[in-house]
Structure 1
């Protein structure tokens, strides 16, 4: 099918020459003598490109291009002017022309016009193909994100069911040691489930807003631990930090283990006390996680209480997400600091 060209020029004789010349190149050319007629022709039929003369009746080609922009008409324009002034060509290109050709009395004008028109059409086709490909990529990304959100939803629900089953097992067990071990397992599973829940409720399924995630995690953990032990006074403060999902779940596991230990061991049964959890952004590439209490403290030279699995989990994950964990000496209580690298 021949490409349709709208030739806008107040010189009809020149249009007839253009029609013959461009016709030999396979183009179908129609004429408009001024801007008003040009807009009418564009509204009536489908064109692939415009050849636009600078000097029109009562206006210029630059005025016409501004009208095209106002009406949202996107077509490649080859700008034609009889002036040798470079500023007109520059203004035309700034206004959105694909190319320009200087009108001459010699025979070289028509081959130059044909070449400029061909290149303008080819570039327009390439842009259209690129935009279509980008649109397909965007749609594919959106579909993938929807599917990933659904996967995270299902995983979170499945893990929540597993945690509920463990909770039932905790209530049915007569052994304190078994109950404590199962409660810790339930807390770890809940930390992972919470991360997946944050992902499917987030606008970006690849990232987790840590303030919301950790707030929910601590609330659920405190509720779980209260069923097995006494209620703890937990105070938290989180600055806005966004982590990829893998780094988020590692951070959640660290908080789970440190907070569980503080709830279990920081204060004697008859003593109540505060546990503080903070996440502070130090700069664009580093954040600091702190879990501290004012309890009995820990002696690093003494063996870990319980199985020691929690301590190994914390040490391993702290190395994976940043600079490891360190315990800051205090007169009373325990302060654990974990340096987190922000990707």
Structure 2
């Protein structure tokens, strides 16, 4: 059964589910005047078959049918992908039927009748249901566009981080080559320290593109990777030390991670070089603990100890870097005077 639409555009196809053919004809006539065209189904099976064919934009579902109720059919309609809005029609004065229909997925309900007011009310409910469906559809499409744009931006950002990490790796390799042909031990040490600082920054960008994260790095994974590389490059017969990491899985903004990586690299490098007598193995501990909004990072050893008031060993560049990096985190590096060996402590806000 179908009727003509009063609109000049494509008719709005409505499926009416009711076993009363006389009422279906009346429904067709009245809704036809209001811009709808009607398809009729007398039971759930034929209604679902019509819906499966597509093109139905809204459903009017009668509660009382001969062999079933609308509440039997409604869940099967709602389970269909992209199902049209459903207006539930009931003649019952028992509001529990309407409440049950709304809970089961109906968009609205109307109390059944045959007066012109009933058809006006039904047409208004259909318009509201259609408008709500259009809004949800447009919102879903907009969200899909946003998701695609976000995925594209993340892909580009991952590529940028990949290229930065590769470029920094190349710079590190060039410095290593320069170090291998240099005879001045002071220059060799300076080049090796520079290479480790570059590696600390490159490791952040590698972590960013491998984890597909945007602007955030997980501290425990980053420090584990950084310290593994650092230990492999520093450990030898003269410095057979071992680094032990204890860290919570805390996310930190990229700029703070780079700063933290440089600080930890400097402290661990100093411990490798100065904490223990040459040839004697020792342990270097790195601990990162979050308490609320604060991250506490400790680098400690049980070696010969360090007095911050003493003059710096070497060029003193490392000390200046440590102070500058701690300052950029709005913090300062402190040392525990009671600790046997050296214990450097950095406390800063993660937000």
Shorter-chain TM band: over 0.9
Q: 1:331 to 1:241 in 2, by over 3 A?
A: closer
Q: Is the 8 A contact 2:59 2:84 kept in 1?
A: yes
Determine helix, strand or coil for the equivalent of 1:289: strand
Which of 270, 282, 286 does residue 273 from structure 1 map onto?
282
1:194 pairs with 2:203: yes
The total of aligned residue pairs comes to 342
Q: Is the 8 A contact 2:154 2:212 kept in 1?
A: no
Determine helix, strand or coil for the equivalent of 1:59: coil
1:290 pairs with 2:298: yes
Determine helix, strand or coil for the equivalent of 2:76: helix
Q: Which residue of 2 aligns with 1:253?
A: 262
The 2-side partners of 1:187 and 1:45 are apart by 64
Q: Which residue of 2 aligns with 1:330?
A: 338
The 1-side partners of 2:231 and 2:111 are apart by 79
Determine helix, strand or coil for the equivalent of 1:55: coil
Q: 1:195 to 1:264 in 2, by over 3 A?
A: same
Give RMSD over aligned pairs.
Answer: 2.0
Cα offsets for 1:139-176 (capped at 9, x unmatched): 21112112211111111111111001001111111112
For structure 1, list consecutive stretches of 5 or more residues without a partner in the other structure: none
4+ residue runs of structure 1 moved beyond 6 angstroms? Answer: none
Determine helix, strand or coil for the equivalent of 2:115: coil
Which of 17, 21, 29 does residue 12 from structure 1 map onto?
21
Q: Mean Cα displacement is larger for which, 99-108 or 201-210?
A: 201-210
The 2-side partners of 1:26 and 1:228 are apart by 89
1:43 pairs with 2:18: no
The 2-side partners of 1:139 and 1:201 are apart by 20
Q: Is the 8 A contact 1:291 1:337 kept in 2?
A: yes
1:295 CA drift (Å)? 2.0
For structure 2, list consecutive stretches of 5 or more residues without a partner in the other structure: 1-9
Q: So what's the TM-score if we normalise by structure 2? A: 0.91
1:26 pairs with 2:26: no
Q: Is the 8 A contact 1:8 1:35 kept in 2?
A: yes
Q: Which residue of 2 aligns with 1:310?
A: 318
Q: Is the 8 A contact 1:183 1:224 kept in 2?
A: no
The 2-side partners of 1:229 and 1:319 are apart by 33
The 1-side partners of 2:38 and 2:339 are apart by 90
